[in-house]
Chain A
């Protein structure tokens, strides 16, 4: 039961909202993972904690190309927020939006115009 109690926060990350302890059902509030991930980047150790996995497993995901990470040095990686969301709850991640215009006429002179700068105020 102690072991189960330790697992609760991890399970919570996956939307598991109830565990049984001492024959009682203990409810935990559902976590909206999409909004709970507030940092732009995470270290492999932080992702391991969120996923309830060993850091070595996260590193093996990175090395296998299963998890995207930016390599800062030989032993330092940073994992972008969206990549973490895709690992933990892929159904919450917005897929790429690609517009296809196969018969559109392309004007090559457009390439000579510089993009708008500085960044337009919103």
Chain B
């Protein structure tokens, strides 16, 4: 993903903040906008305070300068279901045996995950959020069905 300039980045931030703000109380941190590497983290516990937290949505992106704009290099999009103590996440970052690898994490409700990392494709933050928000509203347990364990080579490609 690439944002063409600082203004586009600010629009991206405002859009994500507005969407998450409808679920609960948003906390965000934007670091390094005047530097060559930038980190944007946004997190929301749902529902809002003072109600008991049922889920946490946590989205992190690491961006690098690309001309006048910004390119997304790494991300961690996580959904934590606090009620059933389950987790689903889409990540792109270095793994011990693979550089900048797209992968998913899945910790099912009431059980251990079959694998530490699962295969995944590149997802946009809003796509991931749509899926997580649906899980949150339906309240269906996370089962990890359909996910395949990831095996990576030194180059980061699927084995």
Q: Which of A18-26, A46-54, A79-87 contacts B (4 or more CB under 8 A)?
A: A79-87
Cross-chain contact A101 with B48 (CB below 8 angstroms): no
Pick from A40, A72, A83, A102: contact of B22, CB below 8 A.
Answer: A83
Q: Of B27, B33, B35, which contacts A100 at CB under 8 A?
A: B33
Given contacts A40-B54, A96-B17, contact A72 B137 (CB under 8 A): yes
B154 at the A interface (CB under 8 A):
no
Q: A41-B137, A101-B32, A111-B94 are in contact. Are A68 and B47 (CB under 8 A)?
A: no
Q: List, in ascending order, chain B residues with CB within 8 A of A108's CB.
A: 37, 62, 73-74
How far apart are the CA atoms of A38 and B47 in the complex, in Å? Answer: 10
Distance from B23 Cβ to chain A, minimum over Cβ atoms (Å): 5
Whole-angstrom distance between the alpha carbons of A93 and B51 in the complex? 13
| Tally of chain A residues near chain B (CB < 8 A) | 37
Instruction: Chain A residues near B89: list those with CB within 8 A.
Output: 115
Q: Which residues of B contact A115 (CB under 8 A)?
A: 58, 76, 78, 89
The majority secondary structure among interface residues of chain A is mixed
Decide if A85 touches B33 in the complex (CB within 8 Å).
no
| Interface check B29, CB cutoff 8 A | yes
Q: Does A3 reach chain B (CB closer than 8 Å)?
A: no
Chain B positions within 8 Å of A81 at CB level: 47-48, 51
Q: Across the two chains, which residue of chain A brings its CB closest to B13?
A: A98
- Any B CB within 8 A of the CB of A105: yes
Assembly CA distance A97 to B21 (angstroms)? 10
Bound complex: CA of A112 vs CA of B95, how far in Å? 7
- How far apart are the CA atoms of A106 and B80 in the complex, in Å? 25
Q: Closest CB of chain A to B29's CB: distance in Å?
A: 5
Determine the distance from Cα of A110 to Cα of B73 in the docked complex, in whole angstroms.
12
CB-based contact A112/B94 at 8 Å? yes
Also in contact, A102 and B32, with CB within 8 A (given A40-B46, A81-B47, A111-B94)? yes
CA distance A40 to B82 in the complex (A): 14
Most buried by A among B21, B56, B60: B21
- 9 example contacts (A-B, Cβ-Cβ < 8 A) are as follows A40-B47, A82-B21, A97-B28, A103-B35, A104-B32, A104-B35, A104-B39, A110-B39, A111-B76
* Chain B interface residues toward A at CB < 8 A: 13, 17, 19-35, 37-39, 46-51, 54, 56, 58, 60, 62, 73-76, 78, 80, 82, 85, 87, 89, 93-95, 105, 107, 133-134, 136-138
The 6 closest A-B pairs by CB, nearest first: A68-B22, A111-B74, A96-B26, A104-B31, A106-B37, A83-B22
